Amino acid sequence: MISTNTTPQAMQPTQAHIALDSPTLLESFIQECLLTASANPLSQAIQLTRYALSRTDTLTKERSSTLNTLEKSLDEPISIAVVGQFSSGKSTFLNAIIGRAILPSGITPITSKVCTICYGGTYSLEAIYNDGRSATKPLEFLHTLDELENLQIREFVLYAPNPLLRSISLLDTPGFNSQNAIDTDTTNAILSRVDGIIWLSLIDNVGKQSEKDIIESHIKRYLSKSLCVLNQKDRLANDDEVQTSLEYAKSAFSGCFSEIIAISAKNALKAMQMAEQTQTPLESSTLYSQANFSAVLEFITALASNAKELQSSKLIRSLQEVLTQSLAEIHQALESTSAYLQMLERLDSTLRFNALQSGLEKQFNAFFTRYDSTLESLAQYIFSQLESKDFTLSITSKNILGMQNTQSQTFQATIIPKDTIISKLHSEENRFLLDCRTLGLQISAFGKNVGEFLDNEMKTFCTQSSTLGLNQCPKLKDSWLALCHTITSSLQAQNAKALCTLQSELDTLKTLLTLNYPNAIMLTLNTLDNTINYALQKHKQSPKDFALFTPTLENIRDSLNNALHFLTFQDKLSLHNALYKKTLWGLSQAYMDNAKNAAMHIAPYKNTLQEYTQILQDTKDKLNNQA
C-alpha cells in the first residue's frame, strides 16, 4: 500500500507565494507623495500608474518606456494628421498653413515620407535616417532629394515660426492610394496616435467609393476631431457648383466629420505671397477671402484651444490601456492557476481512465489465466504418465485343523514414474518449463510497462503545465515554475515509490515461477509418490482395512497448487486486491492528497494575483474619475 500522508519537504510555502498585505502606512505615504509631488494632474496620473504596475510586478520595460513617452508628451503639442488620397494637394495645403511654399508638390521622393511640421524660431529642416541619425538640411533639400538618399531617410521634421504651431504639430502623411503598401501602413500607424485629422479631397472628384471605404475604416472614429477639406474649389465655375459639391460630400460622408468645408489652398498660398510682397494685410485680400482658408485655421485654432483637454483625454486613455493590459495578464495568470489546480484535482481520475484505455489491466489479468492454464496442462500431463504395476501379495490362512496355508495373490496398483517425469519436466526443452519461465519474465516486465505508462502520464502533465506557465506574469514566472517543479517532483516521487513496490512484488512472483519450478515439480511428485507407496504398504499389511491410492487429476492439481503457490498467485494477480489494482488505487489516493497539498501552497500565490487585480482596478477607477 502506498502511504499518502507524507508531503515532501520541498512542498513548503516560500516568501514568493505569500499574498500582499493591505496597504501599509509607508505605501499610503508613498501614494500621498505621488499625488502632491507634481502640480500637474496628468503627471500624478502617470506616477500612480507606474506605482501600481511596480507593486503588481507588471512594470515591464515596454510599459516603463510607454510611461516615459507619455511623461515626455506632457510638454508636447497635440498632433493633427493631414490625410488624403495620393495627389489630393496635401503639400500645397500645408504650405498655405505654413505661409511659405516649402514642401514640394507633385510626385517627389518625399511623398512617401512622413513630415512633421512643428514650431521653431526659424524655418529649418531636419532629416532623420533609418539608423537613428539626424542631420540639419537646407530647405532646398526637399526639392533636390534623389531616390537613393531618400531610401536611407525615415522621416522629416520641418520647423516654422508660426505661432499656431506652438500648441499643434502637423503631420504630412503618405497618400492612402499609393501603389506602395508600406505607405498605407505608415499612415495607419500615424492615425493610431494623433489627436485630430484633416481629410483632404479634390472637390471635383469627391465621394468616390475608395474614399468612402478609407474614411469608414480609418477616419470615422475621429468624428469630433476631424475636418473634411474639399480642395481646389477654384477649379469650379461658380459658387453654385461649390455648394453642390459640398452638399454631395455631406451626404456621401454623413456622420464621418465634424465639419466639411471647401477651399482653394493654391489661391490661399498665392494671396499670402502677394500680401507679403506688397506689405498689405492678408485680411484685405479678396483672393484669400474667396479661398476660404480662414475656415481651416479656425478649425485648427479651435482644436488648439482644446489642446489640454484633448491631451488629457488621450493620456488617460493610454494609461487605462496600459492598466487594462496588465489586468488582462493577471486575469490570464489567475485562469491558468485555476486550470492548473483543476488538472491536479482531475489527475487521479485521468490516471484511472487512461490506464483503462491503455490495455494494462487486460494484459495483467491475462497473467493469471495463463498461470492457471499452465498448471492445468501440467496436472494433465502428470496424470497421463501414471502407470499400473502388478504386485504379488502372500495371504496366510488356517484350515479346519488349524494348519496355516499360504497363497500368493496378484493385484494391480497405480504408480508414478517419478524419475522419468522429473527428467522430462526438468529438461530445458520442456514446454512447461519454458512456459513458466516466459510467464515469469512477462510478469516481471509488466512493471516496466507500468513505469512507461506513468512516465507518459507525467510528460503529458508537464507539457500541459508548461503551457499554462506561459500565461503567468513575467516577474512571477520564476516563483511559479519553482512551485510547479516542487509539485511535479512530489508526483514523480509517488510514482517511483508505487512502481518500486509493484516491481518488488512482481519479481517475487517471477522467482516463484522460474527458480522454484524444479523444486515444485519434485515436491509434487514426491508427495504423490509417498502417498501411493504409503497406501501400498498399508494395503499389503491389511488388504481388507487399507485401500490402494490412485491419484485423480484433482489430486495432482491440488499438489501442484500447493507446490507452485496457487493461492499467492490468485491473490496477487486475480482477486480484488490484485497488485495492479492496488497500485492504481494507491496512486489515485496519493494524487488526491497531493492535489490538496498543492492547493494549500498555491493559495497564497493565487491570493497575490487577486490582490494585484484589486490594486490595478483601483488605480484604473481613479483614472476614470480623473478623466
Higher pLDDT, 48 or 175: 48
Label residue 7 by pLDDT band (50, 70, 90).
very low
Domain ranges of the chain: 76-305, 337-389+418-469+477-591
Residue type (1 letter), 542: S
Per-residue pLDDT, 183: 58
Distance CA(88)–CA(486), nearest Å, equals 66
**Nine-digit cell at 266?**
493654391
Which residues make Cβ contacts (< 8 Å) with residue 506, sequence separation at least 6?
A: 443, 444, 446, 447, 579
Distance CA(81)–CA(74), nearest Å, equals 19
| Average pLDDT taken over every residue of the chain | 85
Pick the CATH number of 76-305 from 3.40.50.1000, 3.40.50.300, 3.30.70.2470, 1.10.600.10: 3.40.50.300
pLDDT above 60: residue 33 = no
| Nearest CA-CA partner of 199 in 176, 165, 226, 220 | 226
Label residue 312 by pLDDT band (50, 70, 90).
confident
Q: Where are the beta strands (DSSP E) in 462-531?
A: none
Label residue 9 by pLDDT band (50, 70, 90).
very low
Separation of first and last alpha carbons in the chain: 65
Higher pLDDT, 354 or 400: 354
| Nearest CA-CA partner of 227 in 82, 77, 79, 78 | 82
Task: Report the chain's C-alpha Rg in angstroms.
Answer: 48
Distance CA(265)–CA(282), nearest Å, equals 14
| Nearest CA-CA partner of 74 in 51, 42, 44, 48 | 42
**Nine-digit cell at 283?**
485680411
In a 10 Å sphere around its CB, with 0-12 CB exposed, 13-18 middle and 19+ buried, how is residue 304 labelled?
buried
- What's the average model confidence in pLDDT over 77-103? 85
Name residue, grid cell 491503455: 358
Report pLDDT digits (tens) over 433-480. Answer: 999 999 999 999 999 999 999 999 999 999 998 888 777 877 777 888
Per-residue pLDDT, 469: 79
Residue type (1 letter), 493: A
- What's the average model confidence in pLDDT over 252-266? 88
Per-residue pLDDT, 18: 37
- What's the average model confidence in pLDDT over 131-151? 88
Report pLDDT digits (tens) over 260-301. Answer: 999 999 999 999 989 888 888 888 889 999 999 999 988 888
Angle of helix 579-626 relative to helix 477-514, nearest 10 degrees?
Answer: 170
**Nine-digit cell at 289?**
477671402
pLDDT above 80: residue 595 = yes
Percent of the chain with pLDDT over 90: 49
Label residue 551 by pLDDT band (50, 70, 90).
very high
Largest CA distance in the chain: 184
**Nine-digit cell at 427?**
529438461
Q: Where are the beta strands (DSSP E) in 251-361?
A: 259-262
pLDDT above 70: residue 258 = yes
Distance CA(351)–CA(357), nearest Å, equals 10
Positive/negative CA dihedral, 511, 515, 517, 523: negative
